[in-house]
Chains A and B, each alone.
Chain A
Amino acid sequence: MKIIHCADVHLDSKLRTNLTNEQARERRNELLITFEKMIAYAVEQDVKAILIAGDLFDTGNVTVKTRNAVASAITENPRIDFYYLFGNHDADNFILSWEELPKNLHLFSEKWITYELETFTISGIEIGEENKNTMYESLVLNPEKQNIVMLHGQEATYQGKDKTEIIQIPALANKFIDYLALGHIHSYKIGDIDHRGAYCYSGCLEGRGYDECGEKGFVLLNIENGSITPSFIPFAKRNIHEVKIDISGLETTSKIDQKISKEVSLIPSKDMLKVVLTGKVSITSERDLSYLETKYKESFYSFKIEDDLVRLQLNPKDYEKDASLKGEFIRLLMGKHFSDEQESAIIELGLKALAGEEVDK
């Protein structure tokens, strides 16, 4: 038997950061389409259930189109059972829009609800202020069955301060959980709860910003012979990449460009790319980020370049006897206890200013 575990779809997310309005609109549509494709995949693979571990929507104010599309996906696939656990972004609006909930849509609440199936169970609870401490004790599962549990929150491997949406993994050990289907973290992650079960973040279906790099998709659970085997299925239409490029020793924009070109050659043009320049360069080096951005933005769906991590290569001994103003300036700064970043930035700016270059790029 096959089950899909997905989460954090964030349908109707605004997506305006790093994208034009048109791109944002396109990506919103792509989010929905990927969700619908996942359903189609489920039909094709004869999946019996889809676990949505929270944040199906990004906002309580779901558009009519999205609401209808999701409703349609559920009602038109009566053979698939949908288990929908609310996340911190979900609101009741979608559920309240139904006059009568379809039979294949199963919800949870602030108390543990367990759905008994043939050989396994699916349990879930929506973590809130009132149950965050008591939910671990109140979870009672049948050890004879394969138990899948759904939660939405941030995993903490320590007993930290009480905070909403923190899931204390150790507290869930020895509860006869075979698979803990989690949502909230937008990247795939899997780990052990105890000797019996594993916890897994399926990650989101589509990355929405440069803080969500890497492959995105869902987890396909194969339940067979008393075991649950998860496998990550990359499914996103576009991936988001962050590539760090060391430009140490590259003194010119041209040389940096050559290295970037080489490092990103394998990244598909449909993807989003952020290049982070690192390394140490001399004070006489130059780099024009606006040129590089202009050049590469045509090659990818979205392109961003940063050089906050680039530092100046400074040897104090080189400036000990420099009688120029520049020398005086550098010596003065090196004597102060600035962070590398700040020291580098001030020196670079000061030298640019003395060289008559544009100081505000």
Chain B
Amino acid sequence: MKLIKCYVENFGCLHQFTYQFEEELTTINEMNGWGKSTFAVFVRSMFYGMPKNTKRNLDENERKKYTPWNGGTMGGNLVFEVHGKTYKMERFFDIAEKDDIFTLYDYQTNLVSTDYSSNIGEEMFGIDLDAYAKSAYISQDAIEIGTNDSINAKLGNLLDSDNDINNFDTAIKNLKEAKKKYKMQGRKGSIPEAELEITKKNVKLEKKESIREALAERTKQMKQIKMEKEKINKELEEVKEKVGKAAKYESYEQKKKQYDEIVLAVADKKQEIVKTKEFFKTGIPSEKAVMGCSQAITTLEQLKGEQKSYLLTDQENKQIKLFEERIAEGVFSNETLDSMEKKNRKYNEIAIKIEDGKLSATQEQEKEEGDKFFQKGIPTDEELFTFSSYITEIHRQETEIAKMEAVDKIEVTKSMESKKKSFPILIVFAIVFFCAGTMLYIFEKDPYAIAAIGIGFICMGIQTIWKSKSTKQTKQEDEQNAKIEEERTKEIECWIQKKEELKNKIESFLQRFAIIGYSDSYLEPLMQIRDRKTKYIALLEKIKKVDVQELEEDKEEQAKSLETFLKAMEEETCANDLDWEKGLQNIRERYNQFLVLRKRREQAAENKVKIKDYEERIQKFLQGFQGEADEDYFGSLDRIKSKVEEWNRLNLEEKKVLETKTRMEEASDFKEWVELKGEMLAIETIRTEETKLEEKRENQNELEKKIQDSMNELLDKADELNEIEQEKIILEEQLEKDIKKFEVIEGTIKYLEEAKELFSTHYLKGLRKSFETYMERVGDKNISGAKIDAKMEVSIDKNGAMRKLDYFSRGNKDLINVCARFALVDALFEEEKPVLILDDTFVNFDGEKLEKVLELLEEISKVYQVIYLVCHESRVNK
């Protein structure tokens, strides 16, 4: 491939710059700032583009660095020839890589060519940008030889589809990363950590043996304790047996003692009984006798108490004396008193009668009025009835008259208009109700009488109304009716006459009583007369009943008797006040009192006899006991009672002790203990021994507990250690696995690298040869022995060791690297030769080296088109 010419529109400081390349060596010797490096980058960028970069550092961000300051389009074109064909490629760069523009033209036809894409550098040279920078592009600040996958792949001449070599770095990196997990610097990684953990666990497990021994020791101790406890239990059993025997002996001793005491007690009791019996001179009284005496004493005391209450005062005696005298005189007796009381009642009755016989003021006035009203005589009931019937008759007559007149009218009306039938039943009702009502009112004063009368009037009214609606009479009936009417008229006149007669009679009767203002209805005045008569008669009756004078006389008589009696009985005050009632009442009370007092006196006498009798009986009873014949009967009795109790108690006690004695004598072991002899070890001593043994056992229990607790603690620790051991085993297993894996990874890394080295050796052969050739041309003895390894690193065999280039001077280093670069390019580009760009590469060379390398460059330019950029004449080949 050969560059022909280029045009730079804008690229860094280059603006509209055109350049024509030499076929072999193009030397651009310009001053600093001309744009030599810029030009070199331009050429490279035309083939490889400018990778996207966001770094701020300009040295790291070429896109930013070479962006034209004038704001113009960054880019240009490059005409080149490859495989006998000439192309022109244009490339313009934008801010972002994606916006860059690339166009390839067939230079002959000026038509766009698709022979290469924008990745023309890689397509053409077979290496990536990085590889190009490490090979054909040699700048003064990046002169060292290096390699990458792209270079290796090219060197290895592998097919594109085989990614092994390309992935080698990544594979090694991943393996190393994986290896770090197991082991890395600073004791990190699962292996050292597991080892550390296992070590820690081993440290902990060192205690296991001691714990096991301690456990064994505790177990031994526990067993000993158990044995000791067994022994103690056995001894305790023996001691308990002894205790049993001692207790038995003790109980026998107790029994014997008790028996002896019982025997003594029996004797004592007998003695006491004898002594007690002396108190009872006439024998032991029965409970009944004692009770009897007690009751007698109680009764006596009661009688004495009553006796006190029976005593009469002087006043009371005087009272008795009065009545007795009066009785003896015959003035007073119960019957007399009764009689006086009767007289008093009679007196009172008379007074009431007298009072009843008197009329009140109102009654007096009524009587006067009655006298006046009935001055012409009081009508009899018959008279009243007669006149009442008259009234009834009058009404009947009026009814008849009305009836007749009605009929008459009806007949008339019939002849004139129509006839209306009368409804005779209404008239009957009217009469019945009216008469009945009247009778009822006059004689019974029944309020319903008014209603009956009213109904009578109503019936009459209806009849009248009914009558008013008369029926038509026929012509024939008219004549008849006229006749009848005439007869009727006569009859009516007759009735009227009769009526008048009755009316006269009634009025004549009524005149006797000065009743005025009555209407044609005579009923009312008649009723008035009747009422007044009833009242008047009642007043008269009242006066008639009582004969006051006689009564007064009788009353006086009673009063006299009463007065005499009261005075005789010393009730002058009441007598004077005529208060017979009160006087008699007083006497009655006093008499009752007299009776009571007299009774008391009698009872006192009776009591006295009884008292005497009781005293004799009690005395007689008390004499039967020693020293008890005094008058403190209750005290004596108490003493007797207590003696009796004592006697009973003693007898009971004697009985009990005799029973106890008998029981003891009947006991099966009586003979054993009754003659008990010898001595037994005190039970207390044995019990003390028992207590000691129990204490000892308790101590053993406590010790056992402590040891058990200690064992439990040890067992917990043992358990813990077991767990640690288990964990350790798991860790060890895992460690073994990890170590295996680690070894596998290590082995894999080692052998992959070895394989790569071997692999590289094949394709590095040519490179090494080429390098040696170049070194022979330009090197000196100082740097002879330089070698390139599979990693593309150069070292020099000096003093028996391979020394890194860093040990050497810059100039020597650069020279070696230049040779290595040339060798690399030879190895990489066996067929299509790229353009070599050297950007002031020899700046650090001394004169000798420079001369040699310039000569070499001249030779190389016969093979490769070389663009040599330099800023000083001294470094240009003359």
- Where the two chains meet, the residues of A that have a C-beta atom closer than 8 Å to any C-beta of B are 14, 16-17, 59-61, 91-93, 96, 323-326, 328-329, 331-333, 336, 338, 342, 345-346, 349-350, 353-356, 359-360
A353 to B726, CA, bound (A): 35
CB-defined A-B contacts under 8 Å, sample of 29? A14-B723, A59-B715, A61-B715, A91-B215, A91-B715, A92-B222, A93-B711, A96-B219, A325-B165, A329-B751, A329-B752, A329-B755, A332-B751, A332-B758, A349-B744, A349-B745, A349-B748, A350-B748, A350-B751, A353-B748, A354-B167, A354-B171, A356-B163, A356-B167, A356-B170, A356-B171, A359-B171, A360-B178, A360-B181
- B165 and A359 form a contact (CB under 8 A): no
B residues less than 8 Å from A346 (CB atoms): 744, 747-748, 751
15 extra A-B contacts, CB within 8 A, seeds A17-B726, A324-B158, A328-B758: A14-B723, A59-B722, A60-B715, A60-B719, A61-B712, A96-B226, A96-B708, A324-B165, A332-B755, A342-B747, A345-B744, A346-B747, A350-B171, A353-B171, A353-B748
- B747 and A354 form a contact (CB under 8 A): no
Please, what's the 1-or-0 string for B469-488, where 1 marks a CB less than 8 Å from any CB in chain A? Answer: 00000000000000000000
Contact among B226, B743, B745, B756 for A325, CB-based, below 8 A? B756
- Where the two chains meet, the residues of B that have a C-beta atom closer than 8 Å to any C-beta of A are 156, 158, 162-165, 167-168, 170-172, 174-175, 178, 181, 215, 219, 222-223, 226, 708, 711-712, 715-716, 718-719, 722-723, 726, 730, 740-741, 743-745, 747-748, 751-752, 754-756, 758-759, 762
- B178 and A332 form a contact (CB under 8 A): no
Which of A92, A328, A333 neighbours the largest number of chain B CB atoms within 10 Å of its CB?
A328
- B758 and A355 form a contact (CB under 8 A): no
A residues less than 8 Å from B741 (CB atoms): 360
B residues less than 8 Å from A329 (CB atoms): 751-752, 755
Q: How far is the CB of B73 from chain A (nearest CB, A)?
A: 41
A63 to B644, CA, bound (A): 79
- A59 and B170 form a contact (CB under 8 A): no
Q: Is the interface of B mostly helix, strand, loop or mixed?
A: helix
A residues less than 8 Å from B162 (CB atoms): 324
Contact among A61, A96, A354 for B752, CB-based, below 8 A? A354
A residues less than 8 Å from B163 (CB atoms): 354-356
- B730 and A17 form a contact (CB under 8 A): yes
A324 to B162, CA, bound (A): 8
- A355 and B748 form a contact (CB under 8 A): no
- B168 and A325 form a contact (CB under 8 A): yes
A346-B748, A354-B168 are contacts. A59–B755 as well, Cβ < 8 Å? no
A344 to B181, CA, bound (A): 22
* A-B pairs, 6 with minimum CB distance: A61-B715, A353-B171, A329-B755, A360-B178, A328-B755, A325-B164
B residues less than 8 Å from A91 (CB atoms): 215, 219, 715
- A355 and B226 form a contact (CB under 8 A): no
A329 to B755, CA, bound (A): 5
Q: How far is the CB of A204 from chain B (nearest CB, A)?
A: 17
Q: How far is the CB of A290 from chain B (nearest CB, A)?
A: 15
- B174 and A359 form a contact (CB under 8 A): yes
Q: How far is the CB of A312 from chain B (nearest CB, A)?
A: 13
Q: How far is the CB of A5 from chain B (nearest CB, A)?
A: 27
- A324 and B711 form a contact (CB under 8 A): no
Residue of B nearest to A323 (CB): B762
Contact among A93, A332, A336, A356 for B715, CB-based, below 8 A? A93
A325-B165, A356-B171 are contacts. A61–B748 as well, Cβ < 8 Å? no
A345 to B751, CA, bound (A): 12
A residues less than 8 Å from B719 (CB atoms): 59-61
A328 to B708, CA, bound (A): 70
A residues less than 8 Å from B708 (CB atoms): 96
Residue of B nearest to A347 (CB): B748
A residues less than 8 Å from B164 (CB atoms): 324-326, 354
A residues less than 8 Å from B172 (CB atoms): 353
Residue of B nearest to A17 (CB): B730
B residues less than 8 Å from A355 (CB atoms): 163, 167
- B756 and A328 form a contact (CB under 8 A): yes
A271 to B167, CA, bound (A): 45
Q: How far is the CB of A110 from chain B (nearest CB, A)?
A: 12
Residue of B nearest to A358 (CB): B174
- A60 and B758 form a contact (CB under 8 A): no
B residues less than 8 Å from A333 (CB atoms): 751
Q: How far is the CB of A101 from chain B (nearest CB, A)?
A: 11
- B759 and A328 form a contact (CB under 8 A): yes
Residue of B nearest to A16 (CB): B726
A336 to B165, CA, bound (A): 22
A348 to B400, CA, bound (A): 163
Residue of B nearest to A96 (CB): B222
A residues less than 8 Å from B215 (CB atoms): 60, 91
Residue of A nearest to B162 (CB): A324
B residues less than 8 Å from A328 (CB atoms): 755-756, 758-759
B residues less than 8 Å from A324 (CB atoms): 158, 162, 164-165, 759
A234 to B792, CA, bound (A): 69
A324-B162, A349-B745, A355-B167 are contacts. A332–B723 as well, Cβ < 8 Å? no
Residue of A nearest to B165 (CB): A325
- A325 and B755 form a contact (CB under 8 A): yes
A355 to B174, CA, bound (A): 11
A356 to B716, CA, bound (A): 51
Contact among B222, B223, B722, B752 for A353, CB-based, below 8 A? B752
A218 to B726, CA, bound (A): 27
A309 to B158, CA, bound (A): 35
- A59 and B754 form a contact (CB under 8 A): no
A329 to B165, CA, bound (A): 11
